[in-house]
Amino acid sequence: MEDERLELVRIDSTGTAHPVGRTASQRLRARQGAFRLMPAPGHLVVMRYVGEDGKRDAEDGPVFRLSGEVTTPGALCDIVALIGQAGWAGELVVLDGTTSRSIFFEHGHVICGQSTMEGERLGEVLYRYGALTEQQVEETAAAVTAETRFGEAAVKLGFLTNEKLFHLMGKQAEEIVYAVLLVGDGMFYFLETYDEARLPCRLNISVNSLLMEGVRRMDETKYFRERIPSDQHVPERLPDRTPPEEEFLKVYEAVDGTRSVADICRVVGQGEFEVTQALFQLVQAGKIVVHAPRPTGPAAIVALFNTAISLIFKEVDGAGKGGEVREQLSSFATGAGVYDALFRKAGPGEDGTLEIDQVLENVTILVGPEQGEVMMAQWLYEYVSFAMFVAEPFLRNEAFSLRAGAAELPLSKKVAELIAPLAPGH
């Protein structure tokens, strides 16, 4: 969440509340009117809008039955389970930083989900599942009016059928629920009523089935991420392998060595978890390998270098060998003849990283804009490779490793995977 001091409000000895932080001031200004101070424990202040008459009326907003702080991922599983098992009808609002998500419940079922997170909005979901192209998303957004929602506009334009739209709105609601279960820092409120006009459709998804699937995803994703770290990684078929069983054949056939995981999702019309799960099984079966994504643009290349080199220095500094590694790297850079010019005014910093804009300016002076990206990737790859070469003996007998999800990877393997996209000919 944002800096907590921005949210501070100070109550003085007269009972007057003074916003201290900018965020607190903005939130209070957005809540002008008469509020009732509700009874609460001494460390909490709870107020709800009641209007000038001081009474809780229907037009003053829905009653909240539950509320609380979220401090760990998965904590909301119990809240969602309670709502489902009790058969309550209402809206669960979860606030995570600047993101607001709402899940609407009726009688043990989720009937709708809404989110302000860009990647969870309907247009992005339709694009990720391959139902709309980027251009169609833009055309649909332009056709949205006060009377016509995004999905309705897409159907009117002939981009998809009502049946397809309804199916994918269900997928959107499921993804919002799974995202809510992963929130680790925020607030939740369960409101007893909601405005029916806010619902673009009514679904009927069992809360119990969503919880079981959500917990399974949380448990399995940490294993998938060891082999397939992101949806931008690129799977490639291994030669002379027999096709997989029917269950994974569709995803296998979409693997062409250039499509990313996200691209494959659009080709096969499946979600990221389902595709990642299939690719993980194909990796385990020895039918494909997964490559790190090639950085797009010079700035991304330097950012990738910074990530890798800072990991190395974090480990060697922890082992008390940082000074020796820096000394050998300095000699390597001077002897190679190009790094003094490449790193001029750009670093390296204490953690080995470079100032991106200055490096880009330096490489343009060295080889020109046409060759800058290729040559910089090669030079930075060689530099990190040498850094790992001189660091490895110092760490060989040390119990230093990096955590990736729940799995532990040796530093050399982690760095090799990171810098693979910079390798010549990649």
pLDDT for 232 beyond 50: yes
Comparing 146 with 292, the larger pLDDT belongs to: 146
The span from the CA of 218 to the CA of 275, in Å, is 15
* Contact assessment for residue 230 and residue 261, using Cβ atoms and an 8 Å cutoff: yes
Going along the chain from its start, the domains and CATH numbers come out as 62-217 (no CATH), 235-291 (1.10.10), 298-422 (no CATH)
pLDDT one-digit tens code per residue, 307-332: 899 989 988 888 888 899 999 999 99
Two tokens, residue 101: 């998500």
For residue 409, name the pLDDT band (cuts at 50, 70, 90): low
pLDDT of residue 400: 45
pLDDT one-digit tens code per residue, 60-74: 999 999 999 999 999
For residue 4, name the pLDDT band (cuts at 50, 70, 90): confident
- In the chain, the largest separation of any two C-alpha atoms, in whole Å, equals 81
pLDDT for 406 beyond 60: no
On average, the pLDDT of the chain sits at 90
The span from the CA of 234 to the CA of 229, in Å, is 10
For residue 402, name the pLDDT band (cuts at 50, 70, 90): very low
pTM of the complete model beyond 0.95: no
pLDDT for 1 beyond 60: no
Chain-centroid distance of CA 152 in Å reads 28
Which residues does 102 contact at the CB level (< 8 Å), separation at least 6? 91, 92, 93, 94, 113, 114, 115
Which residues does 63 contact at the CB level (< 8 Å), separation at least 6? 56, 191, 192, 193
pLDDT one-digit tens code per residue, 124-145: 999 999 999 999 999 999 999 9
pLDDT one-digit tens code per residue, 92-130: 999 998 899 999 999 999 999 999 998 899 999 999 999
pLDDT of residue 2: 52
* Contact assessment for residue 305 and residue 419, using Cβ atoms and an 8 Å cutoff: yes
